[in-house]
Structure 1
Amino acid sequence: MKLDGLQYRVHSSSRTIEVEDSCKVLSDLWKTDKDFLNKSIDNDVSKSFKEFRLSDVARSYRSPYGTNGALSILNQTIDDLVQIHDFIDSKRKEWLEQLKKIIEQARDKQSTIRQTMTELRDNYEKAQRKLETADANLKKFQSRSDRLTLANFDERLRELEDIRTECEQARTLSRDIYSTETYKVSSEEHSITVKLFYQYLYEENQFYNDVSKYLSSKMPEIEQRIENDELIPLFGYDLVKHCSKRSENLIAYPIEICIRLLENSLNEEGLFRIAPSHGKQKKLVSEINLQIIDKASTLSELNYDPHVPASTLKQYLRELPDCLLTNALLSQWNDVISIRLSSISTNSNGIENDLTYYETIKTHWFCDFSAD
């Protein structure tokens, strides 16, 4: 829609006010972002963990593995955390410097617009008042009752008319200057948007991109170290990954320990059926997770009855992420059972077939048990 002259002047005036106010809002961000940036959480986090790492406990704690007593997985990760937050804090300070420049530009722009428009508006209002005074004086002089007998009336009238004309011209000039400046500020809306507001978002995006790239480069390293940690809890941990770490023995540590503890207790009544003391089982699970039980340890030395390692072994198998026969091969195991059941049904009845049938049923039950 095309605007006429008056509408365009009103529209431009509104845009000028909008541009000025938006610059003011941006400049006022200094009051909030400055505090946020100067008192960043990253600096606080880094400071807190640095103090922790300097404590006697943190400095003396080493991993029980490795000949050189390497840093524990916790301390290594805390060191990474400190390093990451130091990096973020440094980038945040760089962002602060860029933000300061943008805010200073916004403040200068807002101040210039306000000062210029105020002066021009005052000039226009003064010119308008002078014109109104000159017009009133002219009308008053023209309406005098003695104008016909007053000496030099015509000359005085021309002087007042000239004064009014000059005032009107001055008023028109002030209005044009004010309108020109209004149009000028309105025309700067695009450049102000780009130089200030877009630039603000650009610097913010740059900050978060830098942080994201840095974290993306650090996280795989941290994740790999955590994955390779020899003290990772074994219950609920992937069986293949655990066994691949045991170069000297491919049997899972929990299975090996439980079987060794049960070597001389296979004739125990109710083995794998009678539930042991819950507290003792939790204790054995914790000891196995920490891998602190020696292979030569016995039940009497550990003060456990046979039901404790038996139930612990069942718990370990039950908590494996993948079933014992593996989900990938479960369908093939079921196919084997189906084939055996089919072959039994086609043969004649007899004791041998009955035994085969019961063996198949037990295999089927074992597959179902291992899949749970």
Structure 2
Amino acid sequence: MDTISKTDPILENPVEIQKKLIETISKEPKAARIMHICGTHERTISKFGIRSLLPPEIEVLSGPGCPVCVTPDNDIDTAIILAKKGLTVVTFGDMLRVPGTEESLFDARAEGADVRMVYSIDDAVKIANENPEKKIVFLAIGFETTIPTTAAAILRGLPSNFYIFTSLKLTPPAIDLLIQDINVDAFIAPGHVAVITGTAPFSSFEKMGYPVVVAGFESYDILLAVAMLQKQLKEGAAKIENAYPRAVKAEGNKIALKMMDDVFDVSDSDWRGLGTIPNSGFVLKEKYKDHNAAILFYDLYKDELTRLEEVRKKKKKNCICATILTGKATPEKCPMFKKACTPSTPVGPCMVSDEGMCHSWYKYNRD
């Protein structure tokens, strides 16, 4: 992987470079709706007030780039049910507070269920090794960025009492679906995803006539991506450009991609706000069926999931997280934003994760 050069002009004088980028963008700006697909990008944009630095002709939208936010109710409900049935459910911290249909994993833990937070799948495996009498279920979420870590742990070998419930997502298929229903002119592609996948998965956008720039996560990275997209739009171009060469190679990380291919099969997957998207998720291959919680424990949760589906159909939804995830609304349009819904009392997943748009806007847009 490319290393960061000590003579990189951006690193030597980032403030001056940012000023020049803003000047470039502001000089005869091309009106455009630009969508990013990354919760970390949104956090940077909100934290540094990048939208306020851009000309009013340029609108930056937030897409479904937060893995916590796109995890569907069904998967959260399943984890809660398994925990209440006596299994030990472990997952990342943000997931504990995401509301399911009736409650969250955090609520289930308060009621006595064995729910634990971990920082990685390796932490979860350690819990299984230390508690051989328990059945440990790891709720695995994430995009291409974190999926290789799950694959690596599986390839190393898992304890017999360790099971995985996968809610893993692939980014490009979701965007392929999204662009059929929204008015967008260009895309900022997520740098951390591209570190693994390379730039090839975004080629469909190019074929459909959308300029795409892969960007890093500093404020100057975002501004550079916007400037490059502006140049493409003015020239009538539609191609993939890499504005994050210090981390992203065109071919991606071949070792990580092979591990993913060895462990998982591509499957249809449910996305909160988008529904079922073909070939947008991962499930464990048949050879790992002894660790597949979705299959092994199906009889434990299927009836309760059916009941909860009926509850959801009758439930009045004031939360517009699904609309926000598709770039059709911003948080201040939600009647509960900063009122009933806050980081300490989240109603929807967009307020839970620090990569969620509602959380970022609550934290940084204080007007």
Q: TM-score, normalised by structure 2?
A: 0.20
Which structure has more relative contact order (CA 8 Å, sep 6+)? It is: 2
Larger helix proportion of the pair: 1
Q: TM-score, normalised by structure 1?
A: 0.20
Task: Decide which structure has the larger Cα Rg and report it.
Answer: 1
